């Protein structure tokens, strides 16, 4: 592995970390944001839904922009926008200011998520072995750090601005410096029809199985993030303090699973890892559904973290293998279904829980995750594409460094 690739890999991992921290700082302080701006319970869902909807718009826009602008450049400037928008959320005091900050945050997050996964996929192609789970492990670590900082801010009764300012002052210059070493690949191509020079096109019919897997994975993830505390307290009878534990456990097991997941892909292949992840996640939902008490419920959420953690990174990697000549466009289009799953998951479980039972509602994301088994072969490398076998020892193509941008 060349020094260019090593630096590109390290700087991109830090970008994932920074994004995980920023997103966690936003979502874990939602009650404080609601109090600061006087948002009613009826209006809050509209504000929360706006972020993933605008993020989807940002991802669609990125798919178009990467035909003319390198993903590294989009990532370099979208990450500061996310951090500044986060600071804007903490600095404002009127609803219009919050709406403007969340709009910038959502659009920039869509561009950021798409572009950093584009670079991850192209770097994996360059390295010739599975490294995508490592990038997402850095994101999980950032999420844990961000959630911990948010807890400290709430514990010490710090204002949102005071909580966010030190983080932005550290991460903003660090990500700008790190962006000098981002490495672009050669994944840009037209999304509709064959591009110039015979570039490969993204055929949505072929990408659809991966889009469904992405949606189901995020339905599962949003179920944990939005309902684990309520489920443990209201259904399993835990204390309020204990009810905060499952999501932290889920994040930690997500980090651990992703930290070792690349080794599993290298040893057993992506198909086996995805199948095992789906089965473990489904088992986690089953345990949560039938748990007689809080501690068994937490075991279920632990299994969920270990199972779900491999699905999203491997879905992005599979899109890159499926469309090696148009991986940037494929990743941007696939990324939209991240937000679809996030939007669908929480209302779906809530509606089923209110109309039926929350135990029964947990069986729905379980069934959806199991559908991943039907599409597991979509994760298999093809002999005529990157990753024949499921690894290759080395490649000389390191893409385009972004130092001169």
CATH number of the domain that 55 lies in?
1.20.1250.20
Residue ending a domain, among 138, 153, 186, is 186
Q: 317 and 253, same structural domain?
A: yes
Residue ending a domain, among 186, 209, 225, is 186
Residues 6+ apart with CB under 8 A from 9: 1, 123, 127, 131, 183
| Residue at 404 is within a domain | no
For residue 400, the cross-strand partners are: 184
Instruction: Give the pLDDT score at 382.
Output: 65
- What is the rounded distance in angstroms from the CA atom of residue 177 to the CA atom of residue 138? 18
| Residue at 193 is within a domain | no
| Residue at 27 is within a domain | yes
Check if the beta carbon of residue 284 is closer than 8 Å to that of residue 307: yes
Q: 240 and 358, same structural domain?
A: yes
Check if the beta carbon of residue 173 is closer than 8 Å to that of residue 2: no
Q: 303 and 172, same structural domain?
A: no
Helix pair 204-230, 270-290: axis angle to 10 deg = 30
At which residue do the structure tokens 């605008």 appear? 54
Helix pair 363-371, 204-230: axis angle to 10 deg = 150
Instruction: Give the pLDDT score at 390.
Output: 43
Q: 109 and 226, same structural domain?
A: no
Check if the beta carbon of residue 23 is closer than 8 Å to that of residue 140: no
What range defines the domain where residue 350 resides?
201-388
| Residue at 194 is within a domain | no
> What letter does residue 376 receive in the DSSP assignment?
G
> 3-class DSSP state for residue 341?
helix
Q: 210 and 182, same structural domain?
A: no
Check if the beta carbon of residue 218 is closer than 8 Å to that of residue 337: yes
Instruction: Give the pLDDT score at 400.
Output: 42
| Residue at 280 is within a domain | yes
Q: 234 and 156, same structural domain?
A: no
Burial class (CB in 10 A: 0-12, 13-18, 19+), 139: buried
Instruction: Give the pLDDT score at 391.
Output: 45
Q: What is the domain count for the chain?
A: 2
| Residue at 237 is within a domain | yes
Q: 18 and 165, same structural domain?
A: yes
- What is the rounded distance in angstroms from the CA atom of residue 1 to the CA atom of residue 8? 11
Instruction: Give the pLDDT score at 186.
Output: 62
Q: 209 and 175, same structural domain?
A: no
Residues in the chain, pLDDT under 70: 1, 186-199, 382-405
Instruction: Give the pLDDT score at 187.
Output: 53
Q: 361 and 307, same structural domain?
A: yes
| Residue at 4 is within a domain | yes
Which helix (H) or strand (E) is 400 found in, with range? strand 400-401
DSSP-assigned letters across all residues of 339-363: HHHHHHHHHHHHHHHHHT-HHHHTH
Q: 228 and 147, same structural domain?
A: no
Q: 77 and 220, same structural domain?
A: no
| Residue at 396 is within a domain | no
Check if the beta carbon of residue 83 is closer than 8 Å to that of residue 171: yes
Q: 373 and 253, same structural domain?
A: yes
Cite the DSSP H helix spans in 2-94: 3-27, 30-37, 44-65, 71-91
């Amino acid at each position: 592995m060349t020094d260019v690739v090593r630096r590109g890999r390290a700087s991109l991992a830090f970008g994932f970390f920074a994004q995980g921290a920023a997103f966690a700082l936003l979502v874990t302080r939602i009650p404080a944001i609601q109090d600061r701006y006087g948002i009613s319970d009826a209006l809050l869902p509209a504000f929360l839904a706006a972020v993933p909807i605008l993020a989807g718009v940002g991802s669609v826009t990125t798919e178009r922009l990467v035909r003319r602008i390198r993903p590294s450049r989009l990532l370099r400037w979208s990450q500061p926008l996310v951090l500044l928008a986060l600071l804007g959320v903490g600095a404002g005091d009127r609803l219009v200011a919050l709406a403007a900050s969340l709009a910038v945050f959502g659009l920039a997050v869509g561009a950021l998520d798409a572009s950093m996964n584009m670079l991850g996929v192209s770097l994996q192609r360059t390295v010739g072995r599975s490294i995508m789970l490592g990038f997402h492990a850095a994101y999980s670590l950032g999420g844990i750090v961000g959630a911990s900082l948010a807890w400290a801010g709430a514990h010490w009764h710090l204002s949102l601005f005071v909580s966010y300012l030190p983080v932005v002052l550290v991460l903003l210059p660090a990500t700008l410096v790190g962006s000098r070493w981002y490495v672009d690949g050669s994944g840009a191509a037209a999304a509709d029809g064959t591009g110039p020079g015979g570039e490969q096109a993204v055929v949505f019919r072929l990408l659809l199985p991966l889009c469904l897997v992405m949606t189901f994975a995020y339905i599962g993830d949003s179920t944990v993030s939005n309902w684990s505390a309520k489920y443990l307290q209201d259904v399993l009878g835990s204390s309020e303090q204990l009810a905060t534990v499952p999501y932290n456990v889920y994040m930690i097991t997500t980090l651990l699973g992703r930290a070792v997941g690349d080794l599993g892909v290298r040893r057993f292949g992506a198909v086996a890892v995805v199948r095992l992840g789906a089965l473990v996640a489904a088992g986690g939902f089953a345990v949560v559904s039938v748990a007689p008490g809080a501690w068994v419920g937490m075991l279920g959420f632990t299994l969920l973290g270990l199972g779900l953690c491999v699905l999203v990174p491997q879905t992005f990697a599979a899109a890159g293998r499926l469309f090696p000549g148009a991986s940037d466009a494929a990743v941007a289009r696939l990324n939209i279904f991240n937000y679809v799953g996030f939007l669908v998951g929480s209302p779906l479980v809530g509606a089923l829980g209110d109309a039926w039972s929350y135990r029964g509602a947990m069986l729905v994301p379980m069934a959806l995750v199991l559908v991943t088994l039907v599409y597991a072969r979509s994760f298999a490398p093809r002999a005529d594409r990157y990753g024949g076998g499921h690894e290759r020892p080395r490649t000389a193509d390191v893409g385009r460094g972004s130092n001169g941008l």
